[in-house]
Structure 1
Amino acid sequence: MPVEFEPTGRPDLTTGRGAPGQAELYVDRLLVGAAEFPVSTPIMFNPGGMTCGANPGQPVTPDYPSPFRFTGTIHTVTIDLSGELITDADSEMRMHMARQ
């Protein structure tokens, strides 16, 4: 189930607000849902790398236990890194210092 997020504005990192944007959810390549996000979360999720088919981090809800492994078949994974990279050096430094 790919989710596409297209930023429609700039983040306001000084107030902890990520970029607004349009999100679209696809199932079997068919658009099944879309929503406007007035703001996104300007933090890194899933520290340690990107995963596909499991959630090894903290679950987003107590309704399922981590790592909640997907038992179906994943046919393709597409990661599109196009667009402008948003960085916040101060937040990155705090994250690295917190791991010390």
Structure 2
Amino acid sequence: AVHAKTGRKVSRKEATLLATAVQKPDLSAQVQQEAAESAAKSAAKAAVAAASSSSAAAPKDGGDDEGEDMEMEAPEPEGAADHSRRPVVKDQLKAKRKAAHRPMG
């Protein structure tokens, strides 16, 4: 799903939460609290798994954490084609009709 105001891609679950927040604000608070609890549980599990796997395999780099949390996004080229839309095709029929009505001379 694509967020209408920002234009960024959001998951279906996040889109549902946003729609619920707009349509039913009282229910939204309860749903967001449950979502936050489940996110905290999954984050804790991921942190434990990452700590156990990285403790043996990761080399020590002196604590340089700059830029590790930033997402790397490829810059969009200026002349890139937009593959999300249909191509504009040449109207052959219009030219054919004009040629048929043109006087032979």
Please give the range of the TM-score, normalised by the shorter of the 2 chains.
Answer: under 0.3
TM-score w.r.t. length of structure 2: 0.18
Between Structure 1 and Structure 2, the one with more strand by share is: 1
TM-score w.r.t. length of structure 1: 0.18
Of structures 1 and 2, the one with the larger relative CO (CA 8 A, separation 6+) is 1
